[in-house]
């Protein structure tokens, strides 16, 4: 494995995102919707750095299975427990790759009539995009690498690494 982003670099990026999100949502409460499992560490760090009130919920989506390439088919594995109606919702994602997962989720969430619906991604891989989707907030834009660490996994391994590494 080759290190792509170190722990301090990631924390600086999360802090930068938190400042921007806090400015944009000043005076409002934000419902963070984390996509399990990969976004849980990013969401925890982001939530602690936000200067606005937050509530949290999680949705489980699967598109990879046991491999390193997206299967292209999205499955809902856990639905939200919180009503979105009239709320400011910020979807928290680890990596935006093909865009299919976010397109699928946004379609489902918009039907629940939130006041606003935005997204934040720690990592963005625009070269892999198969549908038009652009996150409202992006921590780092990266090349087309399969990455692990900081919540991201390969077959449920490596999530606990403090940095982000490329699987070679």
Which residues participate in catalysis according to the annotation?
97
Burial-class residue 36 by CB neighbours within 10 Å (0-12, 13-18, 19+): middle
Please, what's the largest Cα pairwise distance for the chain? 45
Strands of the sheet containing 164-166, edge to edge, are 2-5, 164-166, 147-148
Residue with tokens 């949502």: 25
């Amino acid at each position: 494995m080759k290190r792509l982003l170190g722990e301090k670099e990631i924390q600086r990026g999360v802090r930068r995102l938190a400042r921007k999100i806090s400015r944009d949502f000043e005076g409002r409460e934000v419902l963070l919707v984390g996509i399990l499992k990969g976004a849980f560490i990013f969401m925890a760090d982001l939530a602690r750095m936000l200067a606005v009130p937050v509530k949290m919920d999680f949705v489980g989506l699967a598109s990879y299975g046991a491999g390193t390439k997206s299967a292209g088919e999205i499955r809902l594995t856990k639905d939200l427990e919180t009503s979105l109606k009239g709320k400011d919702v910020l979807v928290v994602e680890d990596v935006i790759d093909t865009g299919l997962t976010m397109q699928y989720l946004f379609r489902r969430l918009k039907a629940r009539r939130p006041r606003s619906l935005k997204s934040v991604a720690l990592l963005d891989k625009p070269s892999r995009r198969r549908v038009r989707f652009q996150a409202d907030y992006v921590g780092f834009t990266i090349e087309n690498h399969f990455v692990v660490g900081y919540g991201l996994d390969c077959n449920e391994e490596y999530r606990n690494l403090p940095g982000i590494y490329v699987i070679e």
